[in-house]
Amino acid sequence: MKQRKRKKKPTAQKSMTSNRQYKDSLFRFLFGNKDHKEWTLSLFNAINGTDYRDPEKLELHDSNNILFLKVQEDVVFLYGSVLSFFEHQSTWTPNMPVRMLEYAAKQIAGIIDKKAVYHTALLKIPRPKFYVFYNGINKEVSENTVLKLSNNYDTNNRDEGIGKSYDLEVVVHVININSGKNKAMQARCKPLEEYTWIVSTIRRKKEQGISLREAIEQTIRELPEDYVTRDCILAEQGRIVGMLLDPEGDARQFENLKRKLSEEAWEEGLKKGLKKGLEKGLEKGLEKGREEGINKNKADVVRAMLQEGVDESFVLKVVKVTPGFLASIKDETQAKQT
């Protein structure tokens, strides 16, 4: 029995570490699950008003690559000629189109034949669609928001005729999935409705003063029996708790740090650090120079006094050098004479 307990602990620890590393989330676990493609297809149908029935035609793309280790999209999949990007966000940011542009470029580059871009025949690529599912606490976020990459373009101090033109656009559809938002869509996708219930229930329990871990565990225990995601969540309960305890931890920590310290503060801190470093280095250099100069002068005085036959005890007392310093001058003088 003791051996089993020791084996379980490293496994649990590894799971928690992995979740933090890959910024895994309950959303991605549900809608990026290759064992339950029907949930992903249901979400696709709910968004697009379609009624596709065959989840096997849905191709989930493996996102466990270097991009995913940083800030990868939650779910990327290909259905027919549509390449859909699903990302879950609990923190509002207007920069989602910039991230989606990077995601799309990397995903499409991985799908196409790179040599084909130089062929004379027209290269066909899938049509990208970008969706962000928001469930943060910002009440100003509407049910449906459209963000465009063109809003991020710098058009200040440019020639009026050229500066405001551009040749690339990315459109991102932000869908608010908090409780009470987009009810019709959630009704068309039961896994999404269940996901919203889980998140809102945990949030409500936390507001009642319950710890985050206990709120998560209570919510999982209270999952209604008719939930289609219930068995899957219960089977992976330990992993789910880890996901919900630390969702997007690194990204959130970085965003909080940026909010606390403006760019001006960073620059000011850098300037002060450089100035302090230069001052300290100069001070050390001058001190070392003074020390070397003093020692050289002392050496010249000691050397002259010894050559005149002055008693060594008198030299030590007057010049204020150590016996070792005196001995080194004597050795140096004798070596030159020989």
254-293 confidence digits (pLDDT tens): 455 455 555 556 566 666 666 566 666 655 655 555 566 6
Residue 3 has pLDDT above 70, yes or no: no
By the 10 Å C-beta count (0-12 exposed, 13-18 middle, 19+ buried), 189 is classed as buried
pLDDT-derived band of residue 177, with 50, 70 and 90 as boundaries? very high
SS3 146: strand
Contact 243, 29 (CB under 8 A): yes
* pLDDT higher than 90, residue 43: yes
SS3 122: coil
Asked if pLDDT for residue 295 goes beyond 70, the answer is no
Strands 127-134 and 171-176: parallel
pLDDT band per the 50, 70, 90 thresholds, residue 7: very low
pLDDT (tens digit per residue) in 92-147: 999 999 999 988 898 888 888 888 889 999 999 889 999 999 998 888 899 999 99
pTM of the model: 0.62
pLDDT tens digit sequence for 188-240: 999 999 999 999 999 999 999 999 999 999 999 999 999 999 999 999 998 88
Please tell me the predicted confidence (pLDDT) of residue 22.
29
- First-to-last alpha carbon distance for the chain, in angstroms, is 83
Residue 310 scores a pLDDT above 70: yes
Checking if the pLDDT of 185 tops 90, the result is yes
Render 174-204 in DSSP notation, one character per residue. Answer: EEE-STTSSHHHHHH-HHHHHHHHHHHHHHH
Domain range annotation of the chain: 11-260, 268-337
